[in-house]
Structure 1
């Protein structure tokens, strides 16, 4: 049995999403992994969950910063409008190749972001999340 029910990946890199999905599944970290290459599509998915089936709202989101169209910062601005009853049970993590110190500091100062991780996703990162953020 997996630790979480649902994880959402938001990253414009299709290969990265495939690798992340594989790691999450191989580690039995989540029953379901849903990937989005566009932040707007992820927001629409989350809105549908919030409106129709809030029990299916993800337990965890991995979010990239630099994406075409809506970037990670704009996504977070929209994410803030979701009910706290949903966002409080969902852990949002930045998972990015961005190495700009300003981005890392900004991410760590946002209440919505639990932590900033550098790509690639690894078993070690999942273990950190399990130990520090997942209440079983």
Structure 2
């Protein structure tokens, strides 16, 4: 049984995306994984989704920080301008190889960011996310 309907990976690293997609798929974490190699591509589809097919809005976004062109911070700044009722249905996780404590603190300053996960994504990370979801649903 899938925990989520749609997960987005936003990262310019093709190998990281391949590994994360395989892990997510083999874990039956989601029905659908979409991969975006640029922030621009992801933002464009998010905006289109809001206008045309809201059911395609992702349940979870895993976002890298460091990318050429627009980076993860640029994505977050644009993302927070989207309608709150859409954002509130999506869990956003920073997924980065950065060990800079400043990056971790800055990510935590964004209310949209649920958590900062150090690469690589692991089965344990997915289990923690599922656990959070289960416990938040039970609290309702």
Gaps of 5+ in 2: none
**C-alpha separation between the residues in 2 aligned to 1:122 and 1:49?**
29
**C-alpha separation between the residues in 2 aligned to 1:128 and 1:70?**
29
**C-alpha separation between the residues in 1 aligned to 2:25 and 2:78?**
28
Q: Superposition RMSD on alpha carbons, in Å?
A: 1.0
**C-alpha separation between the residues in 1 aligned to 2:132 and 2:105?**
20
Partner residue in 1 for 2:75:
75
**C-alpha separation between the residues in 2 aligned to 1:115 and 1:109?**
11
TM superposition shift of 1:133: 3.7
Partner residue in 1 for 2:107:
107
Gaps of 5+ in 1: none
TM-score, normalised with respect to structure 1:
0.97
**C-alpha separation between the residues in 2 aligned to 1:133 and 1:107?**
20
Matches within 5 A, 1:1-136: 1-133=1-133, 135=136
**C-alpha separation between the residues in 1 aligned to 2:45 and 2:15?**
21
Aligned length: 136
**C-alpha separation between the residues in 1 aligned to 2:12 and 2:65?**
10
SS at match of 1:31: strand
**C-alpha separation between the residues in 1 aligned to 2:65 and 2:133?**
21
TM-score, normalised with respect to structure 2:
0.94
